[in-house]
Amino acid sequence: MGAYNILITDITCSYCNTSHEVKVQFKYGLTWQLDFRIGERIQWETRYDIGTPGTEKVKVYGIRESDPVCPHCGHPEDEEYDIIVEKDIIKSMSPMKNPQDYLNDDEGCFVIIS
């Protein structure tokens, strides 16, 4: 497994309705164990970065670092997420809708939406 970045954000358990923090791994931009939160800007450094700086809108493949269960009640949660990045700003994260979308990209890390 190569290098990746981490998005740290809160989600709410659909069963017990308690919010808790999750860490979601993704590969986009400069990929070097960097921590991000929603609203922060993707960094770019070299031509080996993943993706193209300033792309209008992409969705990035995200996968949870820890077991996909609620830490409060143990209810199963989503493991894979779509991370929306617009012009290098991380806008949102939601449970993955179409995993097959990511099979079209060479590396399977992200999909250009516009």
Interface residue list for Zn ion (CB under 5 A): 13, 15-16, 70, 72-73, 75
Distance CA 10, CA 111 (A): 24
| H or E segment to which residue 78 belongs | none
Give min distance, CB of 42 to Zn ion, in A. Answer: 31
Looking at beta carbons only, is 73 or 89 nearer to Zn ion? Answer: 73
Looking at beta carbons only, is 13 or 22 nearer to Zn ion? Answer: 13
Distance CA 112, CA 52 (A): 10
Looking at beta carbons only, is 15 or 32 nearer to Zn ion? Answer: 15
